[in-house]
A and B are shown apart, each in its own frame.
Chain A
Amino acid sequence: MEDKIVEVNFGPQHPSTHGVLRIKVKLDGEIIVDAQPVIGYLHRNAEKLSEMGGYPKGMIYMDRLDYVAALNMELGYVMSVEQLMDVQVPERALWIRMMMVELNRIASHLIWLGTHGLDMGMLTPFFYCFSEREKILRIFDEITGSRLLYNYFAVGGVYSDITPKSVEMIKEWYGNFYKRLEEIQSIFAKSYIYVQRTKNVGKLSAEDVLSYGITGPMQRASGMKRDVRKDNPYLFYDKINFDVPTRGEGDVYARFLVRIEEMRQSASIVNQVVGKIPQGDFYNKKYSKPMLVRLKATGESYVPTESPKGEFGVHLIGDGSSIPYRVRIRSPSFANLSSIPTMLKGYKIADLTASVSSIDPVFGEVDR
């Protein structure tokens, strides 16, 4: 008697795919035989619109790519534009940029932790993570004026300065953060149910990682110690002490541990930078309106940066006018998602949600 293979559609509307992802799964009983992802449900034309609008308007489209970690996206774009137009940035602005980017990395990983708990069936860590994230969003509201989508980095510096009240808020937040993270981690990390559900699930070996072009915490959890902040340091990462966590197994549990440790390292970076910001200008005084700098530029530029999901960069080609000829976005989640067929073959349905949530995709970035 031959087994029947059932084809089920984990469609774009589903409580646990993180956004609009469609996976066509072929099942034999409860075992997955094949899985094909289908994307494109959130395509909003960011590249063409930034090509039509010019360099200032491109910033607001970059914000909306990875909307949970928007400052990382702005950083990739603004550094590429500065390299193309040859604009100098004062030191105070660079230190401020570093601090904001690391705070945003912590906020993005907190969302990942909360929704990962929801996919595993636990309802309470979601609320704890979001209330921690609320404190960081209030810090951003104090400095930049918005909570989620900022338009804060400008060519030549940042748009507005940090206030003494925000420095106090950061120090107060830092005092409570480690203890709270320890409490949230204790709900997951040693619990037998969670460990049994995530050990040896969704394994990716180092060869798979290299052949798919996967970067970020997924790469570090499979044994390869690569981080753009250490290999090609930008901003001032070579003057700060921090570690890059790695693990060797490459399953969902390893990715969980890597991301939690990354949160701790980012918090220690924020603490070191807050005390070290020098006095000075926060934007290049040659341009009176920092958001609207439009110079004629020729050539190409690409600056890789480390976003919470992996390596992010924007490739710009200028043709001598003040509007770019081509804007091409290298988004990390797009490459990370291509590993779904390898990761899921031979596992069960329950492993599908665990594996997909450990990739941490954000679909604004995948579909652009």
Chain B
Amino acid sequence: MNLFFFLMSILYGILKFLHINFIPYSYNGIPVGLWIAYLIVAAVEVVLVFAIAMVAVIIIVYVFRKYMADVQNRIGPNRIGPWGSLQLIADVFKLLQKQDLMPTSADRLAFKVAPYIIFTPVILGFVVIPFGNVSILNLMVVNFNYTILFLIAFMTVAPVGEIIGGLASHNKFSLYGAMRSAAQDMGFEVPMLISLISVIILAGSYSANDIVIAQRVIPFIIPEILGFIVFFLAMIARQSIPPFDLPESGSELVSGFSTEYSGMRYGILYMGNFGFMALASFVVAVIYLGGWEGPIFPGTVWLVIKGAVFIIIFLLTWVSLGRVRIDQLLNIGWKYLLPLSIINLLISAGIALYFGGVF
């Protein structure tokens, strides 16, 4: 049973308590009452997912600013809210009241749409992550047989937004940022998919919940250590985190593809970046470390702990490593990661054959 049916049954119980009964109502054979009930439950789910994503973004931005200040021997934000926790909300208010600038020769529709293309897949990704298992209730918003494919499809849309944004601002620096983004994402897409295929071979299904259940025997990081390295590096490259942050290299091209964005449009890009970091660490925790499996605590707490480990590792690489050049980046993607992922695929296929079928 998943969250949709759970919420429907709650709605049915509330309506029965209030003695309102519009569900069997139908008009000319169209079950209008049922559709209204579906709409209400769907609206509640949308608000729930949005809230989870926003809370994750706020917490990650706070941890990032405090940790970066910690490593640099200084105190981060500490005046707004207790220990500086409301700093992001103050920043959002500041960005909201800025003037909306757009270059006159820019492509207007593409310029306005591009930040939303980068931001929406982040929220959609949170729909399919399994957050836990409370007796027979699966804590994920949607559960069907192909959730991993759905997730990959949405994560692939985000770089398209970067390219559109870079090309729409009529600026040579943005053009270079957009082209570098295209090259980087193409180079790291294929090894990532191949290492995911090896996980799917071992688990036997495309659904994220089944992958978590299949790791009750052993977490997948041990038989697939090579695949883990490939997937981890590809995730770093996807989110444009240093050492791979070429599309938005802060000191070479003034700000890469996001040079002409200011005010709240830039705020949405910023939140999309950090939200993607949260999503990526949860995905790595689900696929390689076992998701919500764990002895004593409830499932959600285990998932948050495993996700937090990866967030700290991502932040540490951000803060301490420099930037690689574009041709060295493509070398890493095509010359080193692709053979590693193919070797990993052969290893996991061999393991699946040896143990006679899938887990």
- A contacts, CB < 8 Å to B: 6, 8, 14-16, 30, 117-124, 127-128, 131, 187, 191, 193-194, 196-197, 348-353
Instruction: Give the complex CA separation of A6 and B253 in angstroms.
Output: 15
Which residue of the partner chain A has the closest CB to B183? A30
Q: Check B71 for interface membership: any CB of A closer than 8 A.
A: yes
B253 vs chain A, min Cβ distance (A): 8
Query: Do A127 and B176 touch (CB < 8 A)?
Result: no
Instruction: Give the complex CA separation of A350 and B71 in angstroms.
Output: 27
Query: Do B324 and A123 touch (CB < 8 A)?
Result: no
5 contacts between A and B (CB under 8 A): A124-B71, A124-B320, A197-B322, A197-B325, A350-B252
Instruction: Give chain A residues whose Cβ lies under 8 Å from the Cβ of B68.
Output: 123
Query: Do A30 and B326 touch (CB < 8 A)?
Result: yes
For the A-B complex with A117-B322, A128-B73 known, give 7 more contacts whose Cβ atoms are closer than 8 Å. A6-B172, A121-B250, A123-B68, A124-B72, A196-B324, A197-B322, A351-B325
Query: Do A124 and B319 touch (CB < 8 A)?
Result: yes
Instruction: Give the complex CA separation of A194 and B242 in angstroms.
Output: 13
Q: Check B113 for interface membership: any CB of A closer than 8 A.
A: no
Given A118-B251, A124-B71, A8 and B172 contact (CB-CB distance below 8 Å): yes
Q: Check B120 for interface membership: any CB of A closer than 8 A.
A: no
B145 vs chain A, min Cβ distance (A): 42
Picked from A16, A122, A123, A124, the residue with its CB within 8 Å of the CB of B252 is A16
B136 vs chain A, min Cβ distance (A): 48
A186 vs chain B, min Cβ distance (A): 11
Instruction: Give chain B residues whose Cβ lies under 8 Å from the Cβ of A128.
Output: 72-73
Instruction: Give chain A residues whose Cβ lies under 8 Å from the Cβ of B319.
Output: 123-124
Q: Check B98 for interface membership: any CB of A closer than 8 A.
A: no
Given A8-B172, A196-B328, A349-B176, A122 and B74 contact (CB-CB distance below 8 Å): no
B328 vs chain A, min Cβ distance (A): 6
Q: Is the interface of A mostly helix, strand, loop or mixed?
A: helix
Instruction: Give chain B residues whose Cβ lies under 8 Å from the Cβ of A121.
Output: 242-243, 245, 249-251, 321-323
Query: Do B72 and A15 touch (CB < 8 A)?
Result: no
Instruction: Give the complex CA separation of A16 and B249 in angstroms.
Output: 11
Instruction: Give chain A residues whose Cβ lies under 8 Å from the Cβ of B328.
Output: 196-197
Instruction: Give chain A residues whose Cβ lies under 8 Å from the Cβ of B23.
Output: none
Given A122-B321, A122-B322, A123-B319, A16 and B251 contact (CB-CB distance below 8 Å): yes
Instruction: Give the complex CA separation of A201 and B215 in angstroms.
Output: 48
Instruction: Give chain A residues whose Cβ lies under 8 Å from the Cβ of B176.
Output: 30, 349
Instruction: Give chain A residues whose Cβ lies under 8 Å from the Cβ of B327.
Output: 348
B244 vs chain A, min Cβ distance (A): 10
Indicate the member of A30, A118, A352 with the most B CB atoms within 10 Å.
A30
Indicate the member of A121, A127, A351, A352 with the most B CB atoms within 10 Å.
A121
Please name the 4 residue pairs, one residue from A and one from B, whose CB atoms are nearest each other, closest first.
A121-B323, A16-B251, A127-B72, A120-B322
Instruction: Give the complex CA separation of A352 and B172 in angstroms.
Output: 16
Instruction: Give chain A residues whose Cβ lies under 8 Å from the Cβ of B10.
Output: none
Instruction: Give the complex CA separation of A127 and B232 in angstroms.
Output: 29
Instruction: Give chain A residues whose Cβ lies under 8 Å from the Cβ of B252.
Output: 16, 349-350, 352-353
Instruction: Give the complex CA separation of A193 and B327 in angstroms.
Output: 13
Q: Mark B324-338, 1 if CB is under 8 A from A, else 0.
A: 111110000000000
Instruction: Give the complex CA separation of A16 and B250 in angstroms.
Output: 9
